[in-house]
Chain A
Amino acid sequence: MTHKWHNLSERGSPFALRLILWIALHLGRTTARIILFPITLYFLLFAKPQRLASRHYLNRALKRPPTLKDIARHIHCFASTILDRVFLLADQGDCLDVRIHNAELILDLVAQKEGCILLGSHLGSFEVLRVLAVSHHKLPLKILMYPDHNQHITQIFSALNPEVADTVIPLGRMETLLEVDEYISQGYIIGMLGDRVVGDERSTSCEFMGEQTPFPEGPMLLASTLKAPVILFFGLYRGGNRYDIHFELFSDKITVDRKHRATELQQHTQHYANRLEHYTHMAPYNWFNFYDFWNDQDKTN
């Protein structure tokens, strides 16, 4: 039965996505947001792994067992930010109230043509920053990420705004970071997300929300190799049409002593995990890692 539903949803999704896109662009945000309720319900009922991940996460974030309503709110928050990507990419972002905190951190570096690393996470929306930076302010920004496997939605979003889609530097090629080095020396901002360990990439264990879990070592290793400043960013969705983008100076220059490399990388990564935890508590429903982040399932088995 589950398998069947899975197949159905796979087949149905490109059409459903196009329908939602049409409604959003033709009938506006208020109407489109009504559809978020059945979508939330659908995922609440049928997306079991995501629902379980949400439950495990909320249990930590709220420090109590979450109700079904909490989980629904979590999914709804995620769906809201996906829908808003449509308006942002289609240059209809005026319907959103975006407030930026500490923008001068980035603007000063851009003015001095000094390249930097802009380190984010899957907490909140990343598109809100990307569109503002690229389309509105024409800032030199590149985003380092793995090619998206969520093909349908990626294609739709790329078609909406090819300029923004062009900012991606795909990870996974041997020469990827040589390219990053070249962009940094030209004064580019290199955006990346530092909370998900993908495949067999290097990771280090950090305490996060009260428990040890692996974080990628890559961002700190890259920052120390490039000797570029690191700025943190969090694009938090605050409900309604409101977003808060926070910038925070993480380090002017990360130095890692080769002899104590593993320990020092762990310390820098732990510092990042601490800041991520701080912002996660500020906006707990913005946690968009809908998978077994702390390996809870291994522990119960």
Chain B
Amino acid sequence: MNMMPPKELEVAKMILETLSLEDITPNDIDPEAPLFRDGLGLDSIDALELSLGIQKKYGIKLRASDDNITQIFSSLRSLTNHITENSQ
């Protein structure tokens, strides 16, 4: 039943695990909906925890000074794309 691309599913799981969002399943996340505020309702402390989680798991460091930081965090899909593009 799961239509999510494998990488997107993996990142979705990582988000839920990092932030201990136990009552949400990856399929509950609309890959194009905003992760912060209106969408999944995450805040700045979640962004920090998530970025530490991404660094640990993928070795990718997200910086506040990155020009496209807002865009990277804008949805599950854009975050997945960023991780895919910057992995290894």
Contacts and interface: CB of A to CB of B under 8 A. Distances in A.
Contacts of B11: none
Interface string A158-189: 00000000000001111111111110000000
B44 A225 contact: no
A175 B44 contact: yes
Interface in A32-76: none
A222 interface: yes
A156 B73 CA distance: 36
Q: In terms of DSSP, what is the predominant structure of the interface of chain A? A: helix
A222 B52 CA distance: 12
Nearest to A201: B43
B62 interface: yes
Contact of A225 (B36, B48, B69): B48
B49 interface: yes
Contacts of B1: none
Nearest to B35: A174
B73 A175 contact: yes
Contacts of A179: 64-65
A4 interface: no
A177 B48 contact: yes
Nearest to A218: B45
B73 A225 contact: no
B63 A177 contact: no
Given A225-B48, A225-B52, A176 B64 contact: yes
A182 B55 CA distance: 13
A241 B87 CA distance: 58
B20 interface: yes
Nearest to B45: A221
A181 B44 contact: no
A262 to B, nearest CB: 11
Contacts of A261: 20
B49 A225 contact: yes
Interface string A203-235: 000000000000000100110011000000000
A171 B44 contact: yes
B49 A174 contact: no
B18 to A, nearest CB: 10
Nearest to A177: B48
Contact of B48 (A171, A178, A201): A178
Nearest to A180: B48
Interface in A125-166: none
Contacts of A181: 48, 51-52
A221 B52 CA distance: 14
B64 A225 contact: no
B74 to A, nearest CB: 9
A275 to B, nearest CB: 22
A258 interface: yes
Contacts of B62: 178
B47 A222 contact: no
A225 B36 CA distance: 19
B88 interface: no
A174 B45 contact: no
B45 A225 contact: yes
13 contacts: A174-B36, A174-B43, A174-B69, A174-B70, A177-B45, A178-B51, A179-B64, A181-B48, A182-B65, A218-B45, A221-B45, A222-B45, A258-B20
